[in-house]
Amino acid sequence: MTHSTELVQPSGAASAAPRIRLVGTEENPVWGLSGGERLRRMARQLGATIVDEAQDDEAVLLVRCDAVIGARMFAAMLRLESVVVLDEDGAAAVAAAAPPGRAAELEAFLRGGRWIGDEQSLPLPVLRPTDLDRAFDESLRRRPGRPIARLVDAENTPRAEWSLYNAANLGVTDIVAKYLWLYPAFHLARTAQRAGVPAMAVTAGVLLLSLLAALLFLNGGFAAGLVVAWAASLADAADGKLARVTVATSPLGDALDRGTDILAPPIWYAAWLAGLAATGQMAGPWVWIAVMSVGLYFGCKLQELWFYRRHNLGLYAWRAFDSWFRLIAAGRNTNLVILTLFALAKSPYLAIAGVAVWTGFAFAVQLVRIVQAEGAGTIRSWMEP
Domain boundary among 115, 142, 167: 167
Kindly state whether residues 352 and 246 are assigned to the same domain: yes
Which CATH number goes with the domain that contains 218? 1.20.120.1760
Q: Which pLDDT value is given to residue 130?
A: 78
Q: Is residue 385 part of a domain?
A: no
Here the CATH number for the domain that contains residue 30 is 3.90.550.30
Q: What does the pLDDT look like over 32-74, one tens digit per residue?
A: 999 899 999 999 988 898 898 877 778 999 999 999 988 888 8
Please check whether residues 61 and 172 belong to one and the same domain. Answer: no
- Region 314-343 average pLDDT: 94
Whether 380 is in a domain gets the answer no
Q: Which domain holds residue 58?
A: 1-167
Confidence at residue 154, expressed as pLDDT on a 0 to 100 scale: 85
- For the segment 156-165, what is each residue's pLDDT rounded down to a tens digit? 899 999 999 9
| Whole-angstrom distance, CA of residue 12 vs CA of residue 291 | 56
> Same structural domain for residues 109 and 133?
yes
Q: Which segment of 75-84, 96-105, 285-294, 332-341 scores lowest on mean pLDDT?
A: 285-294
Concatenated DSSP letters of 206-275: HHHHHHHHHHHHHTT-HHHHHHHHHHHHHHHHHHHHHHHHTT---HHHHHHHHHHHHHHHHHHHHHHHHH
Q: Is the pLDDT of residue 143 over 70?
A: no
Domain boundary among 147, 167, 187: 167
Whether 351 has a pLDDT exceeding 70, the answer reads yes
Amino acid sitting at position 25: T
For the segment 263-320, what is each residue's pLDDT rounded down to a tens digit? Answer: 999 999 989 988 988 887 765 666 677 778 888 999 999 999 999 999 999 999 999 9
Distance of CA 293 to the CA centre of its chain: 28
pLDDT for res 222: 95
CB 203 within 8 A of CB 1: yes
Amino acid at 290: A
pLDDT for 170: 74
**210 with 85, same domain?**
no
Structural domain includes residue 332: yes
Q: How many domains does the chain have?
A: 2
For residues 31 and 107, membership in a common domain is answered with: yes
- pLDDT of the residue at 204: 96
For residues 118 and 161, membership in a common domain is answered with yes
Domain end point (choices 121, 151, 167): 167
Shared domain for 222 and 365, answered yes or no, is: yes
DSSP per-residue letters across 33-58: B-HHHHHHHHHHHTT--B-SS--TTS
pLDDT band per the 50, 70, 90 thresholds, residue 139: low
The average confidence (pLDDT) of the chain is 86
User: Does 118 map to a domain?
Assistant: yes
Quick one: 193 and 320 in the same domain?
A: yes
Same domain, 158 and 182: no
Which segment, 26-30, 96-100, 118-122, 236-240, is predicted with the most confidence on average?
236-240
Q: List % helix, strand, coil for the chain (3-state, nearest 5).
A: 55, 10, 35
Asked, for residue 384, whether it belongs to a domain, the answer is: no
* For helices 251-278 and 332-344, angle between their N-to-C axes, nearest 10 degrees: 30
Residues 255 and 209 grouped into a single domain: yes
- Is residue 30 a part of any domain in this protein? yes
Whether 12 is covered by a domain: the verdict is yes
Inform me whether the pLDDT recorded for 183 exceeds 90: yes
Indicate whether 160 and 183 sit together in one domain.
no
pLDDT of residue 115: 53
Q: Does residue 379 sit within a domain?
A: no
- In a shared domain, residues 49 and 143: yes
Nearest partner of 98 among 207, 23, 155, 153, judged by Cα: 23
Q: Is the pLDDT of residue 235 over 80?
A: yes
What percentage of the chain has pLDDT greater than the value 90? 51
Q: Averaged over 357-384, what is the pLDDT? A: 92
Residue 126 parent element (H or E): strand 126-127
